[in-house]
Structure formats: C-alpha cells, structure tokens
Amino acid sequence: MERTLIGRPVVAGSAEGMALVSGQPLSFWGGLSPHTGEIIDRRHERSGDVVTGKVFVFPQGKGSSTASAVLMESIKAGTAPAGIINRGVDPILALGAIVADEMYHKTVPVVVLSQEDFDLIQEGDHLVIEPDGRVRITKQDEVQSTSISD
C-alpha cells in the first residue's frame, strides 16, 4: 500500500528512488565524495555506502560551508542522490541544489518532513518526491512482494 506524506519543498523537483536512511547528520564536505557518491566520513554510520540514485534520508547537513559545492559538483558529475529528505532545513545543502539549477538546469529536490513523518521512512522503501513536496512511500516489504508476484 502506498502512503503519502506532505513535506515542505525546500528545493522543488521530482525524484524517485530507494531510501538510504540514516539517523545521523552528515557534512557533505569531508563526508561525501562527488567523484563516486560514496559516504566517506569514517565516523558516520553509513560510511562506505553510495548515495547515487537513492533518496538520501538523514536529519540534516552539518559542518563545513563547502558542502554546497560538493553537492553541486556531484549533480554535475551525475553521482548525486536522486533526492534529499531532511527533518530540518539546511540552507547550505539547499544552496548547492539551487546554484546547480541556475548553472546547469539540473538539481536535486530537497524536502523537509516533520519528525513524525521522517521517522516513518525505512531503509529500502521506494520513495517518489513530487514538486509540491509530497512524498509517496511504498514500504520495502511491499516492494519485494510486488517484485516476487511479478
């Protein structure tokens, strides 16, 4: 069954992908490689995982003000996540997505959800982000059972 959450479209756009979920904030500079899309903060719980094409769900960015540059470079390089879902507005990440849009007419939608809705998303859920900030979730077990019945 699908469920729809209403979020705030901090950077509006459409995206679709599997959820990569972390409960920890991440600084994109020092935390994400724009060359490979890998999480490289060795203190982060998802260190080694690749965000490319996923909807990256994490509380918010932190640390360096270079994070926006890393996001823009990953958008240009094609290694960026398909979309970003946070539970707090992180202007620095939003900035990377906005400048990329101005430069390349390519962006990563950023949606902010309430804590309660944020907590509903689990690793592997299939997510669709709409330009108005709606997030449609198909739970992981249902994604699997659908693919089996196929």
Partner 1 sequence: MSVELSERDKQMLDSQYGQAARMAMSILVRMAEVYDATEMMDVSQAHIDGCSMLTDSGLEFAETLAVLGGRVSVPTTLNVVPLDLQNWRELGVPEEFAGKALRLAKAYTDMGCIPTWTCAPYQGYLAPRFGQQIAWGESNAIAYANSALGARTNRYGDYIDICAAIAGRVPRSGLHVKENRKGQLLLRLADIEPAVLVDDAFYPVFGHFLGKLAPDKIPVIGGMPAEVTSDQLKALGAAAASSGAVALFHAVGVTPEAHTLEGAFQGDDPEQVVDVHLSDLMAARSDMSTAEEGTGLDAVVLGCPHFSYAEFAQLAEAIQSNGRLLHPDVRLIVLTSQASYALLQRSDLMAPIVDFGVEIVLDTCVFLSPILSSDVRVIMTNSGKCAYYAPGELDVQVAFGSLRDCVRSAMEGVVCREEALWKEP
Indicate which residue of 14, 22, 33, 64 is catalytic: 64
Whole-number Å distance between alpha carbons of 81 and 51: 5
Give the range of 15-23, 98-106, 117-125, 139-147 binding partner 1 by CB under 8 A: 98-106
β partners of residue 129 = 15, 135
Tell me the one-letter amino acid at 91.
P
Q: Which parts of 44-83 interact with partner 1 (CB under 8 A)?
A: 47, 60-70, 72-73, 75-76
Stretch in the footprint of partner 1 (CB under 8 A) among 34-42, 48-56, 130-138, 141-149? 34-42
**Closer CB to partner 1, residue 63 or residue 124?**
63
Q: Are strands 83-86 and 55-57 parallel, antiparallel or unpaired?
A: parallel
Strand partners, 11: 110
Quick check: is 147 catalytic?
Answer: no
Near partner 1 by CB under 8 A: residue from 20, 29, 127, 128: 29
Which residue's CB is nearer to partner 1, number 70 or number 82?
A: 70
Please report the DSSP string for 23-70 in residue order: SS-B-STTTB-TTT-BB--TTSTTTT-B-TTSEEE-S-B-S-TTHHHH
The Cα 137–Cα 35 span in angstroms is 29
Site residues (CB under 8 A) for partner 1?
10-11, 25, 27, 29-31, 34, 40-43, 47, 60-70, 72-73, 75-76, 88-89, 91-92, 94-96, 98-100, 102-104
The catalytic residues are: 64
